[in-house]
Amino acid sequence: MTSSTLHLKYTCGICGLYCRDNFNLGAHIRTHTGEKPFKCSICGKGFAKKSNMKPKPVKVYLLILRPLLP
């Protein structure tokens, strides 16, 4: 551990990356596992981070939903 990593107390057991908190470590570990727990309620696409779940343009949702409408 170097002086720049002394304040980083959480370590990834897979690659050894140091993180400041358990929240960031959990998000990082999903890069190894491929887990995508955050799902779009309209199209079902999964995301590893909730912050990556940005709204899509309405046009995209209309293309998805149009075949489902009567």
Per residue of the chain (70 residues), give pLDDT as tens.
555 556 778 999 999 999 999 999 999 999 999 999 999 877 788 999 888 887 777 777 677 766 665 5
What pTM does this model have? Answer: 0.61
Name the DSSP class of 62. H
Residue linked to tokens 């489902």:
68
Sequence letter at residue 13: G
Q: pLDDT at position 35, please?
A: 95
Number of domains composing the chain: 1
CATH value at residue 15 = 3.30.160.60
Domain of 18?
A: 3-68
